Every structure is written in structure tokens, then in C-alpha cells.
Amino acid sequence: MAKTVLTNVRCFAVAADLTAASNKIELSTEVEDKDSTNYASQGWKETMGGLASAEISGEGQWEALDATKVDDASWATLGGVGPWSISANNGAAVGDLAYFTSALRADYKIGESVGEIAPWTSTAKSSWPLVRGQFAHPPGTARTATGTGTGLNLGAVAAGKRLYAALHVLSVAGTTPSLTARVESSVDNTFAAPTTRVTFTAATAAGGQILRTDGTAITDTWWRIAWTISGTTPSFLFAASLGIQ
């Protein structure tokens, strides 16, 4: 990916697509430096890595009175923990770079001086590791029936590492609609005999979930999202991210 001007950063906060309501998204991560200097350090300071953390901060134009708007979504999740997925200025097509984590919606601020476009600012702080992965399902493709997504060659999961998966259900329509998404792995891109690695709780309304494997090694290198849909004339818009950390 070459040098780029920020024009298309996507931000999914639990069940909200904040892309059209934001004009600034910042993602930062750090590891605490702990002083371990001692008398054998030969006069040089020594440090060790401590706790790691990540933070997502955003701002943009305030809108309200609809579950998809930033005000409604922010109030609904304030103080709560859920998945956040951020694109790297490349949209959210399958295979596009994604950074995602489980994060606490820590604060929310609105208001400005007279004559200004009503703004919002908000911060989310990580409660899981920040994962660098890929989008596994695009947000703009409506799903009305059971199916499978495109495979991604994310590689094997080493012992002690985990496969992380974030699901953002953005909109739901129909009578008694239900979406049960899962993550499948395979030895190759044919998915001739896929293995289900994690399964999300059935979704009947907009919302977000994030899951991870248990830390045991997985030799499969190909991964995809699959889903089962039921109900009368159901329709779902959702985004998904996968990554190994």
C-alpha cells in the first residue's frame, strides 16, 4: 500500500457505521516502559515492556434520533465494551486491511459555539489486544440467505496465539430474522472440509460481538466467515474482521 491521503477511513463501533459521520479517526497503541535499571546496567538505563493498550478517538458531525446515528449509538454503548474495527484508508472490502479490538466506550462529547456544525468527539479504550487483520465481509452487501464468504489466507495460528473475529451487525429487516455467523478454517482455498473455529451468538437485531480461539495451535491457513440466516424475508447488513494476534 503506497503513501495515501486520508479520504476513506471506515469506522465500525459495535453496531454503528460512523464513516459518514466522522472526519477524524485516530488509532494509537503503546506498551508501558518499565524501568529495570540496576547496578549491572553500566550506567545506562534499562527498560522492560509492561502492559500494552490501544485507544481509538474520533470526531465528526453530530446526528441523532435514529439507532444508526452517532448520538443514539454513542449513548447506547457509553460505558460498555464491544468490537471496534477501523480500516486503513482503503474501504472495507474483503481483504482490505483492518485494525480491530474489543474496547470500552470511555467518553462522549457534543456541542460547539454558535454558527458551527454540531460536532461530536468520543474515545474508546481497548480491553483486548489490538489486532491487525483483514475485513472478511463487506458492510454494503445485504445477505438474505445462508451462505459463506470469501476465503482469506491469514496463515496458521501458532501455539499461544489466537484467531480473533469481530462481527458488526449494522441493520436487520424482516419478520423474526436471525443471523448466526461463524468462522471456518481450511487447509487450502477450496474449503472442501472446513472446520468451525468460533460461532457468534445468533443476532436478531443490530449489535456487535467479538470472539477469539483458545490459544491452541491451528495449522489451517485459510479462513472465512460463514452464516446461517432464518426468518421471513430476512435481510442483514454486517461487517466482519479476522486476524491473528
End of a domain among 131, 150, 168?
131
Instruction: Tell whether 162 and 113 lie within a shared domain.
Output: no
Number of domains in the chain: 2
Asked if the structure places residue 6 within a domain, the reply is no
179, 199: one domain:
yes
Q: Each residue of 33-56: pLDDT tens digit?
A: 999 999 999 999 999 999 999 999
Residues 165 and 58 in one domain: no
pTM of the model: 0.96
Asked whether residue 90 carries a pLDDT value surpassing 90, the answer given is no
Q: Is 57 part of a structural domain of the chain? A: yes
- Domain end (from 101, 131, 161): 131
Q: Considering the domain boundaries, does residue 20 fall inside one?
A: yes
pLDDT band of 71, cuts 50, 70, 90: very high
Mark whether 127 and 147 lie in a shared domain.
no
Q: Of 77, 102, 131, which one is at a domain's C-terminal end?
A: 131
Q: Does the residue 59 lie in any domain?
A: yes
Q: Provide the pLDDT for residue 188.
A: 98
User: pLDDT tens-digit profile of 119-148?
Assistant: 999 999 999 999 999 999 999 999 999 999
Give the structural domain span for 230. 138-244
End-to-end CA distance of the chain: 21
**Mean residue pLDDT across the chain:** 97
156-206 pLDDT, tens digit each: 999 999 999 999 999 999 999 999 999 999 999 999 999 999 999 999 999
The residue among 1 and 2 whose pLDDT is bigger is: 2
My answer on whether 127 and 181 are in the same domain is no
- What CATH number is attached to the domain comprising 236? 2.60.120.1110
Is 148 part of a structural domain of the chain?
Answer: yes
Based on the fold, state whether residues 165 and 127 are members of the same structural domain. no
Q: Give yes or no: residues 181 and 220 share one domain.
A: yes
- Cell 445477505 found at: 143
Q: Do 145 and 126 have their domain in common?
A: no
Q: Are 132 and 244 in contact (CB under 8 A)?
A: no
Are 54 and 160 members of one domain?
Answer: no
Residue 1 pLDDT greater than 90, yes or no: no
- Residue at 40 is within a domain: no
Residues 88 and 126 in one domain: yes
What pLDDT band is residue 2 in, cutting at 50, 70 and 90?
confident
Is 23 inside a domain boundary?
A: yes
36 falls within a domain = no
Residues 21 and 86 in one domain: yes
Is residue 163 located within the same domain as residue 123? no
